[in-house]
C-alpha cells in the first residue's frame, strides 16, 4: 500500500513542451532564473512551461521570483490575447509604478 501511494505521488513530467513559437522547450532552454528583463517571448515561454507541465506554478514563481498574482496575470493575458497580450504599454507601466509607490 505504501509503495502504491509513493508511485501516485511521483510527478511524471515531460522532457519538453511546445513553446509559444512552436519550438521545443526544456528546463535548460527556459529563461535563466536570474532573468529581470521580461520580454513577451520569455513570459510566454514560462507560461507554456507551466501549462505543459514542465514546471509547476510554485516552481515557476520560486525560480523567477514572481508573485502568484504576477504569473496569473501573464497566464490570463496569454489565454485572452496570446503573446500580444503580454505587451506592457507605458500607461500600464506607470499605473503599476504608481500603485507600488502608494504602498510605501
The Cα 50–Cα 44 span in angstroms is 10
Residue 46 inside a domain? The answer is yes
Residue 41 inside a domain? The answer is yes
> Can you give the CATH number for the domain in which 55 is found?
1.10.10.10
Name the band, by pLDDT with cuts 50, 70 and 90, for residue 98.
Answer: low
**Number of domains comprising the chain:** 1
What pLDDT is recorded for position 95? 58
Residue 21 inside a domain? The answer is yes
What pLDDT is recorded for position 87? 85
Over residues 61-95, the pLDDT tens digits come to 999 999 999 999 999 989 888 888 888 764 465 45
Write down the residue that cell numbers 490575447 correspond to: 81
Centroid of chain to Cα 89:
19
71, 86 Cβ separation under 8 angstroms: no
Q: Is the pLDDT higher at 54 or at 3? A: 54
Average pLDDT, the chain: 84
Q: Is the pLDDT higher at 40 or at 88? A: 40
Residue 44 inside a domain? The answer is yes
The Cα 61–Cα 36 span in angstroms is 13
Residues of the chain above pLDDT 70, percent: 79
The Cα 46–Cα 79 span in angstroms is 13
Alpha helices in 1-104 (DSSP H): 2-9, 40-52, 57-64, 68-81, 90-103
In order of 34, 41, 74, 81, 102, the CA distances from 77 in angstroms are 23, 13, 5, 6, 25
Residue 1 inside a domain? The answer is no
Residue 27 inside a domain? The answer is yes
Range of the domain at 27: 16-86
Residue 94 inside a domain? The answer is no
Residue 100 inside a domain? The answer is no
Amino acid at each position: 500500500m505504501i509503495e502504491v501511494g509513493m508511485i501516485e505521488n511521483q510527478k511524471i513530467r515531460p522532457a519538453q513542451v511546445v513553446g509559444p513559437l512552436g519550438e521545443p522547450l526544456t528546463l535548460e532552454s527556459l529563461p535563466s532564473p536570474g532573468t529581470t528583463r521580461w520580454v513577451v517571448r520569455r513570459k510566454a515561454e514560462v507560461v507554456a512551461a507551466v501549462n505543459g507541465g514542465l514546471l509547476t506554478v510554485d516552481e515557476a514563481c520560486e525560480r523567477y521570483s514572481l508573485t502568484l498574482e504576477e504569473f496569473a496575470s501573464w497566464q490570463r493575458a496569454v489565454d485572452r490575447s496570446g503573446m500580444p497580450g503580454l505587451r506592457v504599454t507605458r500607461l500600464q507601466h506607470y499605473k503599476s509604478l504608481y500603485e507600488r509607490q502608494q504602498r510605501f
